[in-house]
A and B are shown apart, each in its own frame.
Chain A
Amino acid sequence: MTIERREKRQGAALVAPALLWTLVFFAVPFAGMAIMSLAHLEGREIVQGFDLGNYLRIFTDPSFRRGIFVSLEITLTVTVISVLLAWPLAWIIATRVPERWRRMALLIAVLPFWTSYVVRSYSWALVLGEKGVVNNALIGLGLLSEPIQIMATRAATVTGFVHFFVMLLTLTIYSNLIQLSPNYARAAMDLGASRWQVIRLVILPLTLPGVMTGAFLTFVLCIGDYITPQILGGNNELSLPQLIMMQLGRRGDYPMASALSVVLMAIVTLAYAASARWLKMERL
C-alpha cells in the first residue's frame, strides 16, 4: 500500500463519523419527510401514497397560500428594516466611537443576545402590551388617550424580529467595516469626494458582501422561526412555521406538515440561489 493511499484511508476514517451522523440523523429523516409529504390522512390513519394532493392544497387553499405570503412579507420587511437600522449603527461604532470604547459599544449592542430567545420575545410582550411600557409612556405624555393594540399584530412580530436581527447584522457588518483599510476613504477624500459620497460610493459597495451574507442569514432564520410570531403575533395571521406546528397539534397531520416543510425548504433554497453570487459564507 502506498503512503498516499494510506493517507487517504486515514483521512476518510476521520471524516466518516461526522458524515455518518449527518446522513443518519439529517439526510435520512429529511428523505423520510419528503416521502411523508406525498402521503395523506384518512381519518387518523396516515396512508402512504405518491400523490401531490398536499402540494396542490397548499397552492390552492387560501389559508395555506396566505401563510406563505404572510411569511414572505414579514421576512422581507424584517430583513430590509434590520439592514437599514444596523448599517449606520455598525458604521458609527466602527468610525465614530473612540477606539477604546469600541469593544464596549459593540458588547452593549449585542447584550440582549445573552438572554434566552423565548424570554426575549416575552419581554417585548411586556413592552408592547396593552398595559405595557410603550402604551403607558404614550398616554403619560398625552399623545394617546386610549391604549393602542400593538400586541398580537404584525407590527409586534416585526419589532421582535428586527430587535434580534439588528444585533446580528450589526456584528456582521461591523466585522466587515473594520477590515476595510482607511486608505480607501482617504484616497476618495483626496480626490475630492464629499464625506457623504465616500460612504455612498466607496464604503457601502465594499461592505456589500457582508451585508448580503447577513441579510441571507436573517432571511433564513426569520422565515423558519416559530417562537416570535407565536408569542408576539398571536393567531390573527399565521406564518408558515405556525401552520406547520398547527398541523402537528390539532390532527396529527404529518403529511401536510411535511409538505409545508418541503415548501419552506424550497423557499430558502430559492433565496440562496438568488443571492448566491453575493454570498461569502466562509467569511461568517
Chain B
Amino acid sequence: MRILSWAYLIALFTFILLPVGVLVVFSFQDGRLPVPPFKGATLEWYASVLADRALMEALLNSMIVALISAAVSLTLGFLAASGLARVVLPGSVLMRGVLIAPMTVSYLIVALGLLQMFGKIGVRPSLLATGIGHVVINLPLCFAIIYASIGEHQKNALKAARDLGAREWQVLWLVAAPMLLPSLAAAYFLAFTFSWDEFIIAFLLTRFDVTLPVEIWSMLRSGLSPETNAVGSLVFLVSIVIVVALELLLFRKGAK
C-alpha cells in the first residue's frame, strides 16, 4: 500500500508537471523548434520577448484591466455583501441568486451577450468593454467570498458600531473593511488572477489594444516557437513570485 501510494504520487506529479517542465526547458532551446532534441541553451528567446513591443503593450494592458476590474468587482461585492448581511430585505434570496448567477454561465456566453449589446448601442470593442466583462464574471466571486466570511460575530460588531453612532461609511471603512481584510485580500487576488488570465471575453471584446492572453493566442497561429515558450515561462515565473510573496505576507501574518 505504501509503495503503491508513492508510485501513484510520483506518476501523477510527473503528469502534472510534465507540460510545464517541457515548456520551460525548451524556452532555452538554441534552435527554431521547441521540441526534442535539446540543442543547447540560449537566452535569445527571452531577449526577443522583452524586445517585442506588441507583447509588452499587451502585458501592460492586461495589468491595467486586471487591477481596475478586480478593484471594481471587490468594491461592488463588498458593498453588496455588507448590505445583504445587514438586514433581511424582501427578496434577499432572489438578490443573492441574481448576484451569483453569472458564475454558472460560460465566459463565452457572457462575452457573446456583451458583444451583441455593445454592438447595438455603439460601444466599440476595447479594453474598457473587456474590463466591464471581467467585472461581470468576478463580481459573483468577490460577493460570495466576502458574504461567506461575515458571520454572527462580524454582524454584531457592525451593529455595535452603528449603535454607537458611526456613520455608514465609517462602519464600512473603519470596522467592516479591516475586520474582513483576509477575505477581501483573497477575493481581490482571485479576481485579479482570473481577469489576468481570461481569454475569450478579451478576445471578443478587444480589437486594437489587446490583452496578454489574446496576444499569446495570435502568436500560436505561427505554430510552435521557443518564443511562445519564453512568454509562457515568464508568466509562470511572475505568478510564482507573486504567490510566494503573498504566502509570506498574508499567510505568515495570519498564522501568528
In the bound complex, what is the Cα–Cα distance between A25 and B110 (angstroms)? 9
A49 interface contact, C-beta 8 A = no
Known: A32-B120, A117-B213. Contact between A268 and B104, CB under 8 A? Answer: yes
B66 at the interface (CB under 8 A from A): no
Which A residues lie within 8 Å of B220 (CB)? 118, 122, 231
Contacts of B65 in A (CB 8 A): none
Q: Which of B7-15, B42-50, B180-188 makes up part of the contact surface?
A: B7-15
Q: Which residues of B contact A14 (CB under 8 A)?
A: 79-80, 82-84, 86
Instruction: Select one of B12, B106, B199, B239 contacting A115, CB under 8 A.
Output: B239
The 5 closest A-B pairs by CB, nearest first: A224-B106, A14-B83, A29-B113, A119-B232, A18-B80
Given A25-B132, A226-B200: A89 in contact with B9 (beta carbons within 8 A): yes
The answer on a CB contact under 8 Å between B109 and A133 is no
Interface size on A, residues (CB 8 A): 79
With A116-B216, A126-B22: A18-B36 Cβ-Cβ less than 8 Å:
no
Q: Which of B23, B37, B101, B108 contacts A261 (CB 8 A)?
A: B108
Alpha-carbon separation in the docked complex, A116 to B36 (Å): 23
Number of interface residues of B (CB under 8 A): 80
> A residues within 8 A CB of B6?
96
**Could you tell me the distance in whole angstroms from the C-beta of A18 to the nearest C-beta in chain B?**
4
A contacts, CB < 8 Å to B: 4, 7-8, 10-15, 17-19, 21-23, 25-30, 32-33, 36, 85, 88-89, 92-93, 96-97, 105, 108-109, 111-112, 114-120, 122-127, 129, 131-133, 136, 163, 166-167, 195, 220, 223-227, 231, 241, 244-245, 248, 254, 257-258, 261, 264-265, 268, 272, 282, 284
Q: B16 contacts which of A21, A29, A109, A195 (Cβ < 8 Å)?
A: A109
